[in-house]
């Protein structure tokens, strides 16, 4: 699990931003926390404060440790903070795997250009590699073994090189960290289609996946649970399958492509359901940006509840929907408020002792948490 994340000089983060996912001791909604770490996070903050940038920064690790789908190039513009464009961008990830802690830090001058990497296993330094100084290229025997490390340039991570050129059971902690990164998924529910990063690569045919998984009836039921009645069927088309909506006047049946009549909110639900079908049994960390931008508040709450039921992965959602700030579906240490160059949980953003009976939404709107 991800326990802590730090980033500095990335996009709008001119100073070091620290996201601490250590939980507090609450007696309710315990399933939202695992091993003292927040497992289901909701992130609030004003427009332009950096919620989306936080997700992009968090998934920077997938650019050089995996071969999965990359963050859209348009989102990587202005990679370095414009106040300090010549300074490196710094990242630190703290992972917890049962009783083991892995700390991975690196610096970049751009999305694909590493400057250095550091790796610690349970406090022991196993790698400290400077790409431009051969005297500062320490790799422990525990990590290196008999490998001959000969990197061509700073586009190839030394950690990725070691991982790809050693048996999968060679170093359990290295394997667990990289596999965690390989199974991270970011996507957004805005009107720019199926834009995602991580987890897999290439064009993900969501309709065809729905067909291959045999989930059509479940999708219809999912829509009904969100007050949408559709009669759907698959029709072969150019070697694949088109999802069609069926309408009947009693004597005749007419069909039209589902995507041609679905609203933006319905498409957001479709996107969630298909990613749930495709990835939720394998994903390690899910980040959905503006997950409910087009959803009715009841549908947004339904999706929160579905995510909360799944304990196998961490998730983080960005939203402006204050109706979700309720101890019935979350808790103060799982809700985070972003302000300038800062993110903190509601529990840590106030001196008030928050209890289950508190109205978190009312407190948020009154400025209790410092926005």
CATH number at residue 298: 3.40.50.300
Mean pLDDT for all residues in the chain: 91
Q: What is the pLDDT of residue 81?
A: 94
Does residue 314 fall inside a structural domain? yes
Instruction: Tell me, yes or no, whether 246 and 193 share the same domain.
Output: no
Per-residue pLDDT reduced to its tens digit, 227-259: 999 999 999 988 888 999 999 876 778 889 998
Does residue 271 fall inside a structural domain? no
Residues 87 and 202: beta-carbon distance below 8 Å: no
- Residue 191 above 60 pLDDT? no
Q: What is the pLDDT of residue 88?
A: 97
Instruction: Tell me, yes or no, whether 215 and 79 share the same domain.
Output: no
**pTM, entire model:** 0.93
Does residue 277 fall inside a structural domain? no
Does residue 307 fall inside a structural domain? yes
Instruction: Tell me, yes or no, whether 194 and 217 share the same domain.
Output: no
Instruction: Tell me, yes or no, whether 296 and 165 share the same domain.
Output: yes
Q: What is the pLDDT of residue 85?
A: 93
Which residue shows structure tokens 């004003």? 46
Beta strands of 62-132 (E only): which ranges?
89-97, 100-110, 113-121, 124-130
Write out the two tokens for 107: 């610096």
Tell me which of 229, 263, 297 is where a domain ends. 263
Instruction: Tell me, yes or no, whether 218 and 359 share the same domain.
Output: no
Q: For residue 347, give its domain range.
A: 2-199+282-365
Beta bridge partners of 90: 8, 107
Chain centroid to CA 54: how far? Answer: 10
Q: Distance of CA 276 to CAs 37, 225, 267, Å?
A: 23, 16, 14
What span, in angstroms and rounded, lies between the C-alpha atoms of 30 and 41? Answer: 13
Is residue 209 very low, low, confident or very high in pLDDT (cuts 50, 70, 90)?
A: confident
Instruction: Tell me, yes or no, whether 172 and 299 share the same domain.
Output: yes
Q: What is the pLDDT of residue 190?
A: 64
Give me the mean pLDDT over the 52-70 stretch: 95
- Three-class SS of residue 357? coil
What span, in angstroms and rounded, lies between the C-alpha atoms of 258 and 180? Answer: 35
Q: Are strands 33-34 and 17-20 parallel, antiparallel or unpaired?
A: unpaired
Q: Is 355 exposed, middle or buried (0-12, 13-18, 19+ CB in 10 A)?
A: exposed
Write out the two tokens for 341: 């160059």
Chain centroid to CA 344: how far? Answer: 17
Q: What is the pLDDT of residue 170?
A: 67
Q: What are the helix (H) ranges across 156-287?
A: 158-164, 172-182, 206-213, 216-225, 258-261, 264-279
Write out the two tokens for 25: 């001791």
Does residue 272 fall inside a structural domain? no
- Three-class SS of residue 56? helix
Q: What is the pLDDT of residue 193?
A: 59
Instruction: Tell me, yes or no, whether 176 and 289 share the same domain.
Output: yes
Instruction: Tell me, yes or no, whether 228 and 322 share the same domain.
Output: no
Please write down the long-range contacts of 347-353, taking CB distance under 8 Å and 24 or more positions apart.
347/24, 348/20, 348/24
Give me the mean pLDDT over the 320-328 stretch: 93
- Measure the CA angle with vertex 108, ends 104 and 112; round to 5°: 105
DSSP at 69: P
First to last CA, the chain: 28
Q: What is the pLDDT of residue 200?
A: 84
> Measuring CA to CA, which residue among 274, 285, 94 is closest to residue 184?
285
Q: What is the pLDDT of residue 206?
A: 80
Instruction: Tell me, yes or no, whether 125 and 83 share the same domain.
Output: yes
Q: What is the pLDDT of residue 138?
A: 93
Question: For the chain, what percent of residues have pLDDT higher than 70?
Answer: 96
Q: What is the pLDDT of residue 314?
A: 97
Residues 72 and 91: beta-carbon distance below 8 Å: no
């Amino acid at each position: 699990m991800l326990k802590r994340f730090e980033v500095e000089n990335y996009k709008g983060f001119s100073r070091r931003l620290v996201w601490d996912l250590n939980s507090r001791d609450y007696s309710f909604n315990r399933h939202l926390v695992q091993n003292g770490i927040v497992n289901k996070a909701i992130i609030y903050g004003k427009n332009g404060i950096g919620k989306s940038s936080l997700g992009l920064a968090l998934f920077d690790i997938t650019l050089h440790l995996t071969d999965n789908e990359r963050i859209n190039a348009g989102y990587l513009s202005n990679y370095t903070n414009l106040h300090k464009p010549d300074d490196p961008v710094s990242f630190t990830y703290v992972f917890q795997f049962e009783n083991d802690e892995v700390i991975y830090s690196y610096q970049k001058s751009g999305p694909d250009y590493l400057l250095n990497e550091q790796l610690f296993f349970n406090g022991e330094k196993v790698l400290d590699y400077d790409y431009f100084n051969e005297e500062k290229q320490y790799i422990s025997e525990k990590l290196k073994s008999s490998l001959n490390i000969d990197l061509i340039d700073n586009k190839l991570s030394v950690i990725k090189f070691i991982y790809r050129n050693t048996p999968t059971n060679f170093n359990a902690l290295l394997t667990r960290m990289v596999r965690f990164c390989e199974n991270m998924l970011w996507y957004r529910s805005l009107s720019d289609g199926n834009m995602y990063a991580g987890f897999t690569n290439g064009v993900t045919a969501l309709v065809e996946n729905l067909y291959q998984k045999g989930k059509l009836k479940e999708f219809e039921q999912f829509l009904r649970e969100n007050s949408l009645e559709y009669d759907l069927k698959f029709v072969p088309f150019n070697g694949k399958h088109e999802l069609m909506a069926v309408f009947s006047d009693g004597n005749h049946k007419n069909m039209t492509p589902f995507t041609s009549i679905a609203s933006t909110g319905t498409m957001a639900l479709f996107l969630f359901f298909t990613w749930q079908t495709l990835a939720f049994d394998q994903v390690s960390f899910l980040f959905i940006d503006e997950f409910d931008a087009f959803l009715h508040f009841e549908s947004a709450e339904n999706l929160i509840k579905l995510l909360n039921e799944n304990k196998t992965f961490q998730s983080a959602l960005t939203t402006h929907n204050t109706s979700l700030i309720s101890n019935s579906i979350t808790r103060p240490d799982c809700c985070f408020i972003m302000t300038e160059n800062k993110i903190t949980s509601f529990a840590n953003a106030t001196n008030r002792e928050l209890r289950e009976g508190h109205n978190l939404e009312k407190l948020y709107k009154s400025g209790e948490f410092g926005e």
